[in-house]
Amino acid sequence: MLQQIADGLGLRCELADGPESALEILSGAEAQDFDVLLLDVRMPGMDGFALSERIRLLPGHRTAPIVMLTSSGQVEDKARSLRLGISRYLMKPVRPSELREAILTGIGQQAQMPRRMGAAERFGAQRRVLLAEDNRVNQKLAAILLRQRGFEVITVEDGEAAVDAFAREAPDLILMDIQMPRMDGYAAMTEIRRRERIAGGHVPIVALTAHALEEDRRRCFELGADGYLSKPIRAEQMMNLLRRLLEQAAVPIRT
């Protein structure tokens, strides 16, 4: 059920069927960085609080936002959550709106923490990115990731607003969702490239789409996209692409 909610929010979800499985995923040779961890309080062998303590000992997850799920709502459980620095404590069954808010709150708190990022990792510093995305959850998550890398983020929710913001804000890079109301991403890219042919210049555009079909990818490039990402977006993949495009375009740092 939680995976279905996460999928509906456009999130990529990794499942663990128990505490030991979770620790293996978090500490194995192919361990990944997770934006939020959802843990159940009542599990066999090790409860969610004991698992949280173990997770906090792992080098890469000492500050990872944790959302604790429970069906009991005991006062002592809430006290333990506070003591362990758990971001949110939710009663089951969890409503999609509650889970969405908890995830965004957790990621927002993580983004505001001191980051061990060097200058190379904050490659977006003093650069402006236009994010055109009509899904509010996807928009907020992408904006958080971009700001972590130093970008100034301008957000719009449809293609017409994207074209207007392109002319008004002079972004260094554009992330363009394809499926948007009023004017879709295809039409917005076409109009932006038409204006560039008249006025000169070329701003890198990355097309974002929930469809991973080859014809969608080909059409994006035919209309002037410089890169292509399928949803749900993977942070590392997106940042590697943005870094490469900025370097290729030799986009200067703003002064």
**Domains in the chain, please, with CATH?**
2-112 (3.40.50.2300), 128-249 (3.40.50.2300)
Element holding 239 (H helix, E strand): helix 235-249
- The percentage of residues in the chain with a pLDDT greater than 90, rounded to a whole number, is 33
**Which phi and psi (to 5°) does residue 68 adopt?**
-100, 130
pLDDT at 11: 75
Q: How far apart are CA 100 and CA 235, in angstroms?
A: 18
79 compared with 223, residue with greater pLDDT: 223
pLDDT tens per residue across span 87-121:
788 888 888 878 877 777 766 655 444 444 555 66
pLDDT at 111: 46
Contact yes or no for 227/174 (Cβ under 8 A): no
58 compared with 241, residue with greater pLDDT: 241
- The reported pTM is 0.61
pLDDT tens per residue across span 10-61:
677 889 988 988 888 888 756 677 888 899 988 888 888 889 888 887 877 7
pLDDT at residue 221 above 90? yes
pLDDT at 107: 64
* Paired residues of 229 in beta bridges: 208
Contact yes or no for 99/71 (Cβ under 8 A): no
Q: Average of pLDDT values for 241-251?
A: 86
Q: How far apart are CA 120 and CA 125, in angstroms?
A: 10
How does DSSP assign 107-172, residue by residue? HHHHHHSPP---TTTTTTTT-EEEEE-S-HHHHHHHHHHHHHTT-EEEEESSHHHHHHHHHHH--S
Going 132 to 133 to 137 to 141, the CA torsion angle's sign is negative
Among 167, 162, 104, CA closest to 137 = 104
Query: Which tokens go with 139?
Result: 């928009």
